[in-house]
């Protein structure tokens, strides 16, 4: 009977670690996004356009990531990405559809214009984010 319980504990520990690592990655990504947006508050802004978007499941979670690609012009055309998490794939798809081809304000780093941020507050002006995640 003891070997049966040891296999159960191995299973519980293994999948507990996988679960914790997956959610840890999600929260790390959220923290980084908030940090980038805070730093970018002092950067100049310019008008950009959302070119496209795609939706993909987040591995080992029930979340979906909507990734938007945008372009802006500072001495030459440049591109950037904005990523937002959703609990439902349909919400992520609607989000991408709502924002495609929209003109938005992009913040860029003056010393390195390739580094840019599309702020969540700007995105919220153009799309209904329900439910809202960080």
Pairing mode, if any, of strands 76-86 and 103-109?
Answer: unpaired
Bigger pLDDT: 126 or 112? Answer: 112
pTM greater than 0.75 (yes/no): no
Mind listing the pLDDT tens digit for each residue in 60-83? 778 899 999 999 999 999 999 999
Q: Map out the domains of the chain as residue ranges.
A: 2-126
Question: Tens digit of pLDDT for each residue in 16-62?
Answer: 777 777 667 767 877 887 888 888 889 999 999 999 999 999 877 78
Tokens of 61: 């979670």
- The answer to whether 65 and 79 have CB atoms below 8 angstroms apart is no
Q: Which of 83, 98, 95 is nearest to 28 (CA)?
A: 83
| Cis peptide, bond prior to residue 131, ω within 30 of zero | yes
End-to-end CA distance of the chain: 46
């Amino acid at each position: 009977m003891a070997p049966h319980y040891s296999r159960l504990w191995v299973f519980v520990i293994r999948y507990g670690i996988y679960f914790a690592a997956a959610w840890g990655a999600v929260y790390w990504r959220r923290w980084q996004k908030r940090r980038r947006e805070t730093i970018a508050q002092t950067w100049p802004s310019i008008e950009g356009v959302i070119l496209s978007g795609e939706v993909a499941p987040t591995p080992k979670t029930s979340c979906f990531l909507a990734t938007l690609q945008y372009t802006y012009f500072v001495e030459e055309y440049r591109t950037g990405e904005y990523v937002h998490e959703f609990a439902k794939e349909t919400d992520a798809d609607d989000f991408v559809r709502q924002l495609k081809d929209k003109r938005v304000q992009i913040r860029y780093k003056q010393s390195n214009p390739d580094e840019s941020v599309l702020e969540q507050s700007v995105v919220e002006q153009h799309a209904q984010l329900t439910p809202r995640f960080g």
